[in-house]
Amino acid sequence: MTFLTRKDMLWFVVLALVLLIVFPLGLETFRLNLFGKYLTYGFVVLGLVLCWGDAGILSLGQGVFFGLGGYCMAMFLKLEASTPAATKIQSTPGIPDFMDWNQLTALPAFWQPFHSLAFSLVAVVAVPTLLAFGIGLAMFTRRVGGTYFAIITQAFAAILTILIIGQQGYTGGVNGMTDLRTLLGWDIRTDHAKMILYFVNAVLLLGAALLSHVVRRSKLGRILVAMRDKEDRVRFSGYNVAHFKIFVFCFAAALAGVGGAMFTLQVGFMSPSFVGIVPSIELVIYCAVGGRTSLLGVIYGTVLVCAARAAFSEAMPQLWLFAMGSLFILVVVAFPTGLAGVYRTYLDPRLDRLLPWLGRGRAPTTATVERPMHAAAME
Amino acid sequence: MSDDAHAPHSLFRRRLMQGLVALPAAAMLPRAAWAASPATAAVNTTGLAVTDDTVTVGILHSITGTMAISETGSVEAEKLAIAQINESGGVLGRQIKIIQEDGASDWPNFAEKAKKLLASDHCAAVFGCWTSASRKAVLPVFEQYNGMLYYPTFYEGLEQSKNVIYTGQEATQQILAGLDWVNRTKGSKSFYLLGSDYIWPRTSNKIARKHIEAHLTGCKVVGEDYFPLGHTQFNSVINKIKLTKPDVIYAIIVGGSNVAFYKQLNAAGIDLSKQTLLTISVTEDEIVGIGGKNIAGAFACMKYFESLKNPNNEKFVPAFQKMWGANTVIGDVTQAAYLGPWLWKLTAEKAGSFDIDKIVAASPGIEFKGAPEGYVRIHENHHLWSKTRVGKALVNGQYEVVYETSDLVQPNPFPKGYQ
């Protein structure tokens, strides 16, 4: 089976050019760092394409996994920043500053392993994946789906936020973990480091997109779509639907965790405001604007929405929320299939006529079959 | 960095900024005042947004989201101060231009906008932040890009940065004098400590407890409780208060929770004219929500009350209400925010430069005699020497000043023996 058609290849190359050449050359360092931050959300929306777009599992709690990945990274960086020398004004030097404010006098046991970078990097992927596995196992084997599942993921987002804010001695509370400085002695705050992190992030994102693409083009990917469209038929054909759902939910969570870690590295801190319900829903909106069945569409959608958000709020600090709201309403009403839908309806046929050689060697396109957004949301 | 980083990014924004800046005074200024202004190359050697006749500063507060209600007063005060400075000839002969960004009650967003104001707009100073969380979020940004932040809120201390001037009181300034006062005048011996559950109330109560137990003879803490932000059920703690009968309820509850807390106190029959309650978190702004009759009789300990009688304040209050409406009230933080632009102007003129390092070097010892709260001075630790006052809440939503320290209180963000 062909995993990459010529056209797929063309668009991947275009995306790679945009991320690796156009953005770095066209944006000043400050803006590039911002775009790097937007691209970390790209990991989450890629996961949502598989989870929501293909398998029809709407998760309103992806911020949880993003946040957990980010917190795992932040814990490592925070420990590195909290050397006894850097924290000598505290009552207990050598522990993170927020622990000292909260009258902790020793590093809690669950923080100890985060002295190790290797452990932390594994945790970035493993912690979100294990939580997703737990939630998936509990929900999907009981055939909880659709709206009920979405509500439960929201509840998890709320629970985790409350937990983080409430346990401020262990987590930094509302303030989050701030003032992260170095990664193994390498200062991550300099413009040069930001540039390198941007490229690491962009390459990882391209890799993640490619991996997601392979998963979608595989037999597994087609089962996911089949599950979305007629779950019972898949079940009667002898497939264990729950297993596939758990897999795709874990896959999305792992990607989100990587995004969170890259976010922490580039932004220099992590806070509970990325874990809650609102950011989780924003991530779903990015996905919807991009077109939730197109891997590349959602990446463009995310960058576009985030850039619009920054532009609106800079241009009209008092009114930017209304502008964002109008934008979302406009997209949902006028382009229910998002950017990718616009491309498929108007550009793709023309491209086929213009460059017929691109269309040859086309893989089956079941995974890109689009249904109106509200139909899936209702189920 | 490209040149266009100094220029506004869109036509709309340019118009908006022109509107903001032109409104107050720019046109009225006599040209002669600029003649003496020092050359741009001399006052700006580090590439800040300074031209021959303007200097750009940032305002960074939440004007949307849950904190907007608290932070709006600070924005208004900062704009008033900047308008007045522009009217009086600007800073080093330059008119101040404002770039306002919205923190949107979201701490990471504060960091992003701070970065934009410094790295992209090259603001000579930023007036902003309100919650400790937002300050903690932007602090690394200001240190990395070497910016200048004027932070208005009373806060927990335990922090000192060369890139921040703290124009509100730190915890010991706000707490110790008030406890001494209540102990001296009311003979209070037992205290019940309350707070919202985050760093400021917790640190403040820690300082209060140490002071009560170590420095006030025969005094003790009979209870200490914390509630999540936004909590509205205070009945169980009110029952505990009724059982323990403390001489003083020491309350550091913030935001919307205050409304529920004071109403439920009233409903439970705790009469604040008989039961002493001392708070450090309720300014005139909060009383608008709580309702004067629900809190009348309580005491608040901070550095400024709208009702202060002094010539500066008698000019400040009408000027503020003329610009922002006759019904606006002015709380402690709003007044502290008003100090920021003035202190920066005085510092820049003493330094003869907008360069951040020269501003930092010139800051200690800067005196501002026109402060509505009275005379203030910047300490070496970048906090302000200021008086501490106790006010008694009145039914009309104002405080009546019942006590003020005779001297300025020294700021001590890292108090020995209180940690």
Count of A-B CB contacts under 8 Å = 112
Which chain B residue has its CA at the smallest distance from A173's CA? B198
Say if residue A379's pLDDT is above 70. Answer: no
Find chain B residues with C-beta within 8 A of A180's C-beta.
140
Q: What pLDDT shows up at residue A217?
A: 92
Q: What pLDDT shows up at residue A374?
A: 47
Q: What pLDDT shows up at residue A357?
A: 76
Q: How confident is the model at residue A5 (pLDDT cuts 50, 70, 90)?
A: confident
Q: How confident is the model at residue B110 (pLDDT cuts 50, 70, 90)?
A: very high
Q: How confident is the model at residue A364 (pLDDT cuts 50, 70, 90)?
A: very low
| Percentage above 90 pLDDT, chain A | 65
Give per-residue burial for A255-279: e unless 16+ CB within 10 Å, then b.
Answer: bbbbbbbbbbbbbbbbbbbbbbbeb
Say if residue B294's pLDDT is above 70. Answer: yes
Please state, rounded to an integer, the average pLDDT across all residues of chain B.
89
Taking a C-beta distance cutoff of 8 angstroms, is the pair B81, B341 a contact? yes
CA distance B150 to B124: 11
Mean pLDDT computed over B56-78: 91
Q: Where are the domains of chain A?
A: 6-378
CA distance B388 to B386: 7
Q: What pLDDT shows up at residue A251?
A: 97
Find the CB nearest A313 among B102, B139, B202. B102
CA distance A224 to A363: 17
CA distance B383 to B170: 8
Say if residue B7's pLDDT is above 90. Answer: no
Q: What pLDDT shows up at residue B33?
A: 45
- Express each pLDDT in A286-307 by its tens digit: 999 999 899 999 999 999 999 9
CA distance A276 to A60: 10
Q: How confident is the model at residue B36 (pLDDT cuts 50, 70, 90)?
A: low
| Percentage above 70 pLDDT, chain B | 91
Which chain A residue has its CA at the smallest distance from B9's CA? A315
Q: What is the interface pTM, i.e. ipTM, of the complex?
A: 0.83
Test B100 with A31 for CB contact under 8 angstroms: no
- Express each pLDDT in B303-342 by its tens digit: 999 999 999 999 999 999 999 999 999 999 999 999 999 9
- Express each pLDDT in B193-212 by its tens digit: 999 888 889 889 989 999 99
Find the CB nearest A315 among B10, B131, B137. B10
The interaxial angle of helices A29-48 and A62-81, nearest 10 deg, is 130
Test B133 with A274 for CB contact under 8 angstroms: no
Which chain A residue has its CA at the smallest distance from B156's CA? A101
Q: What pLDDT shows up at residue B198?
A: 82
Say if residue B30's pLDDT is above 60. Answer: no
Find the CB nearest A175 among B13, B133, B419. B133
Q: Is the pTM of this model over 0.90?
A: no
Q: How confident is the model at residue A28 (pLDDT cuts 50, 70, 90)?
A: confident
> Which range, of A338-347, B213-222, B246-255, B273-282, averages the lowest pLDDT?
A338-347
Mean pLDDT computed over B58-62: 96
Mean pLDDT computed over B62-76: 88
Say if residue B418's pLDDT is above 90. Answer: no
**In DSSP terms, which residues pair with B166 in a beta bridge?**
B151, B383
Encoded amino acid at A163, one letter: L
Say if residue B376's pLDDT is above 60. Answer: yes
CA distance A292 to A64: 20
- Express each pLDDT in A32-84 by its tens digit: 999 999 999 999 999 999 999 999 999 999 999 999 999 999 999 999 999 99
Taking a C-beta distance cutoff of 8 angstroms, is the pair B278, B177 a contact? no
User: CB under 8 Å to A355, separation ≥6 — which residues?
Assistant: none
Say if residue B32's pLDDT is above 60. Answer: no
Which chain B residue has its CA at the smallest distance from A188's CA? B144
Find chain B residues with C-beta within 8 A of A269's C-beta.
108, 111, 137, 140
Say if residue A354's pLDDT is above 70. Answer: yes
Smallest CA–CA distance, residue B136 to chain A, in Å, is 7
Mean pLDDT computed over B357-375: 96
Find chain B residues with C-beta within 8 A of A316's C-beta.
12-13, 16
Task: Give the domains, in start order, of chain B with CATH numbers.
Answer: 3-169+310-385 (3.40.50.2300), 171-302+388-404 (3.40.50.2300)
Taking a C-beta distance cutoff of 8 angstroms, is the pair B377, B367 a contact? yes
Say if residue A113's pLDDT is above 70. Answer: yes
User: CB under 8 Å to A217, separation ≥6 — which residues?
Assistant: A1, A2, A3, A363, A367
Find the CB nearest B101 among A31, A314, A321. A314
Say if residue B164's pLDDT is above 90. Answer: yes
User: What is the DSSP track for B133-177?
Assistant: HHHHHHHHHHHHHT--EEE-S-B------TTEEE-S-BHHHHHHH
Q: What pLDDT shows up at residue A360?
A: 56
CA distance A113 to A350: 56
CA distance B127 to B15: 22
CA B153 to chain centre: 3
Find chain A residues with C-beta within 8 A of B16's C-beta.
315-316
Smallest CA-to-CA distance from B304 within B313, B293, B295 is with B313
Smallest CA-to-CA distance from B153 within B376, B318, B364, B302 is with B302
Q: What pLDDT shows up at residue A346?
A: 87
**Looking at chain B from residue 359 to 418, which residues have their Cβ under 8 Å from any Cβ of chain A?**
414
Q: B224 at the A interface (CB within 8 A)?
A: no
- Express each pLDDT in B11-28 by its tens digit: 455 455 544 444 444 444
CA distance A49 to A356: 28
- Express each pLDDT in B396-407 by its tens digit: 999 999 999 999
Say if residue A321's pLDDT is above 50. Answer: yes
Q: B102 at the A interface (CB within 8 A)?
A: yes
Taking CA atoms, A246 is separated from A50, A57, A130, A145, A220, in Å, by: 12, 10, 11, 12, 13
CA B42 to chain centre: 32
Taking a C-beta distance cutoff of 8 angstroms, is the pair A281, A88 a contact? no
Q: What pLDDT shows up at residue B396?
A: 94
Phi and psi torsions of A343, nearest 5°: -60, -45
Q: What pLDDT shows up at residue B378?
A: 97
Q: How confident is the model at residue A359 (pLDDT cuts 50, 70, 90)?
A: low
Please state, rounded to an integer, the average pLDDT across all residues of chain A.
89
Test B107 with A98 for CB contact under 8 angstroms: no
- Express each pLDDT in B80-102 by its tens digit: 999 999 999 999 999 999 999 99
Test B140 with A268 for CB contact under 8 angstroms: yes
Q: How confident is the model at residue A8 (pLDDT cuts 50, 70, 90)?
A: confident
The one-character DSSP state at A110 is: G
Q: Which of A135-139, A176-180, B286-290 has the highest mean pLDDT?
A: A135-139
Q: What pLDDT shows up at residue A255?
A: 97
> Which range, of B5-14, B289-298, B404-413, averages the lowest pLDDT?
B5-14
| The pair of three-digit structure tokens given for residue B381, joined into one six-digit string | 């630790």
Find the CB nearest B140 among A89, A102, A178. A178
CA dihedral A116→A118→A124→A126, nearest 10 degrees, is -110
Q: What pLDDT shows up at residue A66?
A: 97
